[in-house]
Structure 1
């Protein structure tokens, strides 16, 4: 079952309008879709019927669209309810975001700002800190100045002793500040310009590269390995 992580809010945008969707609001919409009842959905979400109506009202007000369609029934909040096509789209978007998070369980989560967009080339540059900028594929829904969360899986980070010519677009110099055994892998923590990046490599590769604490190395990753979420 798809679950939005508790305490996390996802920004959902429709036609330049947006709102923050958290686990309670997501569960409410999910249960309305499953049960056809706001009353039952509120019970399953563990909120009051009044709170449920307030959630729906705020979402609809922010997006300027209807997300729930109701038919009157008996007293006490009776009747039926269904999600509109826009309401179902919100559920779909949130499930897509959650799928990205589930796919990358061990992932570097780094807040970044979009500093430039090259639409003809289909790329954009994001800044992690004043010393580190990444080039990644363009997301047409983003604009310069947007704050995003960059997600880079630990096993997508390559460690090198010197920069190499390759298809890897993002290569940075860093210093190893922590090494820890995680199962059959070594988890290496690297400082690149004030931002910490984790990489998982094999024990044998660690020995071959003679990786030690304090050693200066280079890390690299392909642009397509970076997933993003708008904050």
Structure 2
């Protein structure tokens, strides 16, 4: 799965308050949760450990007034579900829009710098 701007352009971190930043890893995690409906599946998609996934979700849910991710435990066989809340969807959409706007703003400069690079091969 190719993530947005993974190999080209700018990926940025927004330091929203001391000790908390929203960046590509957290945005990718929110996107994977929305796509899979599962913390385990989102972690697998991003090659991220369950401990890391839970830690990031806890960090994001604590940093914002309203949680970004809601989880529901599964039945006796486990397999809970996860989904973005309305606030989670808003945060993800705003971050991706800012990322796209930033890349559009620097596109000419990036093209100029690429033109100065050696040819591969």
**Do the structures match in fold with TM over 0.5?**
yes
| Residues paired across the two proteins, number | 109
Q: Is residue 4–residue 23 contact of structure 1 (8 Å, CA) maintained in 2?
A: no
- 2-side partners of 1:36 and 1:24: how far apart? 17
Matched-pair contact (CA < 8 Å) for 1:18–1:62:
no
Query: Which residue does the alignment assign to 1:68?
Result: 69
Cα separation, 2, equivalents of 1:2 and 1:32: 14
Partner residue, 1:111: none
Give distance in 1, aligned partners of 2:36 and 2:52.
18
Q: Which residue of 1 aligns with 2:53?
A: 52
Question: Tell me, which stretches of 5 or more residues in structure 1 are unaligned?
Answer: 109-153, 155-179, 184-231
Q: Which structure has the highest helix share of the two?
A: 2
Picking from 12, 33, 58, the partner of 1:8 is: 12
TM-score by length of 1: 0.40
- Secondary structure at 1:106 match in 2: helix
SS of the residue corresponding to residue 12 of structure 2 reads coil
The answer on 1:20 being equivalent to 2:21 is: yes
The Cα shift of 1:67 comes to: 0.9
Question: Structure 1 pair 77/35, CA: closer, same or farther in 2 (3 Å)?
Answer: same
**RMSD of the TM alignment (CA)?**
3.2
Offset at 1:25?
A: 1.0
| Structure 1 outlier segments of 4+, above 4 Å | 4-7, 74-77
Report the structure number with the largest CA radius of gyration.
Answer: 1
